[in-house]
Amino acid sequence: MTTGTTTPRRRPRDRRQQILAAARDRFARQGYHRVAMADVAAAVDIGASALYRHVRGKQELLLAVLDEDLARLEEAEPDPDGLARVALERRGFGLLWEREAGHLPEDEQHAVRVRLRRLAGSLAGRVPGPDADVRGWAALSVLGSPSYHRTTLDDDRFHGLIADAARACLVVGLPDPPPSSAAVPHEPPRLVPASRREALLAAAIRLFAARGYPSVGLADIGAATGIAGPSVYHHFLTKADLLEAALRRGEERLWLGLHHALARADDAAGALAGLVEDYTAFASTDPQLVGTLLSEIVHLPGDRHAAFRAHQLEYVAEWVGLLRAARPDLAVREARVLVHAALAVVNSLTRIRHLRARPGRDAEIAALARAVLQPLVLESE
């Protein structure tokens, strides 16, 4: 009688890197709350108990992913070229930080913010002056922008576009600030709509932006407006209905801005400049709604998610069409990369707290976004 033996599998030396790569991919595609530890374990063909030998829980797993990505960025040459290469290698970092970092403990969020400030500062240090801080953050936003789209492009060309756009943020001329007394930080509105439906929608947008959709319940939204739980259902049957209404509100605002820009312009370049101004004004005055548009669509049910995602892509395509009409040298994919980079500048800088009180902030942000779309400015430097 012959007895067989089973050779135990050896644990790969890069098991932790495999785990982090699988978690990074799933957090980016599905959202933190939709990913279970068992999903990550299955992706690398191990059991849940083996996964817990590397991390104690999902929160620690997210922190490990962000920490590894930040470490790679910190090791790179602190210039647009070096950081652009790592940003494309770790393409999901910007999205994970913006959308999922709220799930980390406050002290860990603060530690990540400190490291991001250092990265922005390393870029700002290349252009000392009173505008260095806003320029550094704009360049860092450009480098993180590939997180928000799936455009494929030759690696060298992608790198060149992103690096040049980041450099443009560091050198473009910015408008002179108005008198300091003209700087009025945008504050949350103190008045609420008389309409109960509108009050619920405004509260939902505020809470989704502050805490994330999964952490907010209908009872929370009702309490924020002084409306008893059962009364909320007279206006919205589910939390997903509220999220859809919020997203639709933001989407309608975007398209209205586009139509205004087209109606007021004489050519594509003028329309694109007007669109940048309009989008900057929208993001500046209503950053919570813009944040909801950027981060919470992932929580819609499948069919509704697909519809809103399609609408977002159609809006971006309008920017791409105008940019290509103004710059025929760009292919569609190249123009899409620059459009997403310009949008990232606006989205990021309008939500950075310490920049809110800068005199003329909106004009600066619009000028930086326009520079991203026209990096040929570098040829005159």
CATH assignment at residue 256: 1.10.357.10
User: In this predicted model, which residue has the larger pLDDT, 199 or 193?
Assistant: 199
Q: Is residue 158 part of a domain?
A: no
pLDDT at 204 over 70: yes
107 and 217 housed in the same domain? no
Whether the CB-CB separation of 246 and 324 falls below 8 Å is answered with no
Residues 6+ apart with CB under 8 A from 312: 251, 293, 297
262 and 119 housed in the same domain? no
187 and 334 housed in the same domain? yes
Q: Is residue 8 part of a domain?
A: no
Report pLDDT for 356: 86
**For 142-156, 188-202, 217-231, 337-351, which range has the lowest pLDDT when averaged over its residues?**
188-202
* Domain boundaries, position 67: 15-126
204 and 317 housed in the same domain? yes
Report pLDDT for 312: 94
pLDDT at 321 over 50: yes
Q: Average pLDDT in the 223-245 region?
A: 89
Report pLDDT for 126: 85
Work out how many domains the chain is built from and give that number: 2
Q: Average pLDDT in the 144-148 region?
A: 93
Structure tokens at 108: 């860990």
Report pLDDT for 376: 45
Q: Is residue 54 part of a domain?
A: yes
pLDDT at 308 over 50: yes
Q: Is residue 172 part of a domain?
A: no
| Residue where a domain terminates, one of 95, 111, 126 | 126
Report the share of the chain in percent with pLDDT over 90: 75
58 and 187 housed in the same domain? no
| Residue where a domain terminates, one of 61, 92, 126 | 126
Q: Is residue 170 part of a domain?
A: no
| Residue where a domain terminates, one of 62, 96, 126 | 126
Query: How far apart, in whole angstroms, are the C-alpha atoms of residue 273 and residue 138?
Result: 18
pLDDT at 91 over 80: yes
Query: How far apart, in whole angstroms, are the C-alpha atoms of residue 260 and residue 278?
Result: 9
Q: Is residue 274 part of a domain?
A: yes
Query: How far apart, in whole angstroms, are the C-alpha atoms of residue 62 and residue 101?
Result: 8
Structure tokens at 83: 């950081």
pLDDT at 109 over 70: yes
pLDDT at 27 over 50: yes
215 and 360 housed in the same domain? yes
pLDDT at 228 over 90: no
192 and 297 housed in the same domain? yes
Q: Average pLDDT in the 19-27 region?
A: 94
296 and 358 housed in the same domain? yes
Q: Is residue 136 part of a domain?
A: no
110 and 224 housed in the same domain? no
Q: Is residue 302 part of a domain?
A: yes
221 and 365 housed in the same domain? yes
Report pLDDT for 374: 86
Q: Average pLDDT in the 320-332 region?
A: 96
Report pLDDT for 186: 54
Report pLDDT for 185: 52
